[in-house]
């Protein structure tokens, strides 16, 4: 019998790469460890900070959980502010009294932690954004504590916290509509202004892209300039009200100037332009003085200047004055407004080199077009108060004034 070959197993051995197996997340154990540090130090935040600094806890992985413990005293359930299972401490932001003296130690404590672990600023952002988007789930006094805490984080210049982290989450329609955001932002403003100026607050609002949108914090039914003034005046923030009124005023002036610039550049019928001015004055309650200043600006801005040719520039400016004299005349309705127009002409001729020698000619043209009367010109000549180029312009205007005086004597 012939012997048969026994079958053998063949093939190629395949080497597999070892994979890094991530340890499962265990935020509960981390939270309990942080809470225990609070408990071991009886809530003394100075001692807690030192213990945190010397601990080997994995903050890079559980940063959000850490700030949940700081704010609420323990871990919160995912996606909510409700307490989760586990140990808790009573020295959190939400456990203290709603006043700066009680909240400030927590801010200074976080500042110390961030100096040693600056990467945690992103986790602070995450937790603050989540809490601010969920303001309706907090009690009224808890929202006040959060507002005070938030203001103090900026007052203490907590490194790296961007203002938009705070302001943008507050603009959720349902929060604004329920009237939750307005008291919060009011408490924020009042607390921030304890240590900072209004200019500092405005700068903060600019960085948070909210300077022009303060009315967005108001419910729809209160969203008006009057509602803004009434609310913040009642809350004692008069400086903020005055700033907002000034800003609104400047916006209205720009809108009017833009509309008139287009109409004058297109040489629209003067009656239409007059109607536009009257409508803006009525809607925006613009004072006559500002209107006269704007009219002169837009009229002269529309002049087609011709480089260095002085005579052509003079002709162009005087032609423009003559063309729009009726517009000026309509709104220069008193000696005070005429004098304001003369000051405006004086300043422009002083600041614009190509107009420097045109002052007497422009004044004479305004007189001939019956925009300025003799008494106004003499008042400016004798008692004018604006010093810009005054000595030069008085001398240049003297021959015309002498002519006016002689004509008056002859009459």
pLDDT at residue 159 greater than cutoff 70: no
Mean pLDDT of the chain: 89
Q: Which one of 156-165, 337-346, 378-387, 397-406 scores highest in mean pLDDT?
A: 337-346
What integer is the mean pLDDT of 101-116?
A: 94
pLDDT of residue 306: 74
**Cβ neighbours, 10 Å, residue 184:** 22
Mean pLDDT of 343-348: 95
Helix-strand-coil percent breakdown of the chain, rounded to 5?
70, 0, 30
Residues in the chain: 411
Q: What is the pLDDT of residue 17?
A: 53
Q: Where are the beta strands (DSSP E) in 314-360?
A: none
- 314 touches 303 (CB < 8 A): no
Average confidence (pLDDT) over 276-301: 92
pLDDT band at residue 76 using 50, 70 and 90 as cut-offs? confident
Instruction: Give pLDDT, residue 13.
Output: 58
Q: What is the pLDDT of residues 183-224, one digit of tens each?
A: 999 999 999 999 999 999 999 999 998 988 899 999 999 999
Residue 80 in this model has a pLDDT that exceeds 70: no
User: Is residue 86 predicted with pLDDT exceeding 90?
Assistant: no
Instruction: Measure the CA–CA gap between 374 and 390, rounded to whole angstroms.
Output: 18
| Structure confidence by residue, pLDDT tens digits, 111-151 | 999 999 999 999 999 999 999 999 999 999 999 999 999 99
Residue where the block lists tokens 């919060």: 184
What three-state secondary structure class fits 372?
Answer: coil
Give the lowest-confidence range in 34-38, 166-170, 260-264: 166-170
CB burial readout 88-115, b (16+ within 10 A) else e: bbebbbbbbebebeebbebbebbbbbbe
Q: Is 8 exposed, middle or buried (0-12, 13-18, 19+ CB in 10 A)?
A: exposed
- By CB atoms closer than 10 A (0-12, 13-18, 19+), residue 20 is exposed
Q: Does 19 have pLDDT greater than 60?
A: no
How far is the C-alpha of 76 from the C-alpha of 28, rounded, in Å? 10
Q: What is the pTM of this model?
A: 0.76
Q: What gap in Å lies between CA 334 and CA 311, rounded to an integer?
A: 32
Residue 20's pLDDT is: 45
pLDDT at 4: 59
- CA-nearest of 158, 92, 74 to 122 is 158
CA 401 to chain centre: 49
The pLDDT of residue 22 is above 50: no
Q: Name the residue among 189, 92, 76, 56 with its Cα closest to residue 134.
A: 76
Q: Residue range 335-353: average pLDDT?
A: 94
Please state, in angstroms and rounded to a whole number, the distance separating the CA atoms of residues 134 and 172.
10
Q: What are phi and psi of 314, to 5 degrees?
A: -60, -45
The candidate with the shortest Cα–Cα distance to 106, out of 74, 67, 144, is: 67
Beta bridge partners, 83, equal 76
pLDDT band at 87 (very low <50, low <70, confident <90, very high): confident
- With CA atoms as reference, report the closest residue to 31 among 80, 75, 67: 75
By the 8 A CB rule, do 120 and 114 touch?
yes
Question: What is the greatest pairwise CA distance in the chain?
Answer: 159
187 closest CA partner among 157, 158, 166: 166
Residue showing tokens 């961007």? 162
Q: 234 or 84: which carries more pLDDT confidence?
A: 234
- Residue 23: per-residue pLDDT: 44
d(CA 191, CA 118): 25
| pLDDT for residue 70 is more than 60 | yes
**pLDDT for 102 beyond 90:** yes
Q: pLDDT class for 409, splitting at 50, 70, 90?
A: low
What pLDDT does 11 receive? Answer: 54
- pLDDT at residue number 8: 59
- 85's tokens: 């299972």
**Coil, strand or helix: which one is 53?**
helix
Q: Is the pLDDT score of 163 beyond 80?
A: yes
Give me the residues paired with residue 76 across strands: 83
Q: Where are the alpha helices (DSSP H) in 196-287?
A: 198-207, 225-234, 238-265, 270-284
pLDDT at site 122: 93
| Greatest mean pLDDT range, 25-29, 154-158, 267-271 | 267-271
């Amino acid at each position: 019998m012939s012997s048969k070959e026994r079958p053998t197993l063949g093939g190629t051995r395949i080497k597999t790469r070892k994979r890094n197996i991530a340890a499962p997340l265990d935020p509960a154990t981390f939270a309990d460890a942080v809470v225990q540090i609070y408990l071991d130090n009886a809530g003394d935040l100075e001692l807690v900070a030192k213990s945190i600094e010397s601990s080997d806890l994995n903050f890079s992985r559980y940063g959000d959980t850490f700030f949940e413990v700081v704010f609420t005293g323990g871990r919160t359930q995912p996606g909510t502010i409700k307490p989760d299972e586990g140990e808790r401490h009573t020295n959190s932001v939400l456990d203290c009294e709603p006043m700066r003296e009680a909240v400030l130690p927590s801010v200074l404590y976080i500042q110390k932690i961030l100096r040693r672990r600056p990467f945690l600023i992103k986790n602070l952002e995450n937790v603050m954004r989540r809490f601010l988007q969920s303001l309706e789930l907090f009690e009224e006094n808890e929202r006040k504590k959060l507002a005070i805490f938030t203001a103090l984080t900026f007052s203490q210049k907590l490194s790296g916290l961007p203002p938009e982290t705070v302001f943008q989450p507050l603009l959720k329609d349902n929060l604004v509509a329920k009237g939750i955001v307005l008291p919060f932002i009011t408490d924020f403003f009042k607390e921030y202004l304890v240590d900072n100026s209004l200019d500092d607050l405005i700068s903060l609002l600019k960085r948070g892209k909210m300077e022009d949108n303060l009315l967005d914090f108001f419910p729809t039914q209160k969203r008006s300039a009057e509602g803004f003034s009434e609310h913040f005046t009642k809350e004692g923030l008069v400086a903020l009200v005055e700033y907002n009124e000034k800003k609104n005023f400047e916006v209205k002036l720009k809108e009017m100037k833009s509309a008139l610039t287009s109409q004058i550049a297109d040489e629209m019928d003067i009656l239409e332009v007059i109607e536009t001015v009257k409508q803006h004055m009525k809607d925006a309650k613009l004072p006559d003085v500002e209107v006269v200043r704007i009219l002169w600006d837009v009229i002269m801005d529309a002049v087609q200047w011709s480089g260095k040719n002085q005579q052509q520039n003079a002709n162009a400016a005087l032609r423009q004055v003559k063309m729009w004299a009726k517009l000026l005349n309509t709104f220069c309705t008193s000696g005070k407004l005429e004098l304001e127009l003369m000051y405006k002409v004086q300043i422009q001729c002083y600041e614009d080199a190509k107009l420097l020698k045109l002052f007497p000619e422009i004044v004479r043209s305004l007189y001939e077009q019956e925009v300025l009367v003799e008494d106004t010109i003499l008042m400016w000549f004798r008692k004018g108060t604006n010093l810009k180029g005054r000595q030069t312009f008085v001398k240049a205007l003297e021959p015309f004034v002498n002519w006016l005086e002689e004509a008056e004597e002859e009459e």
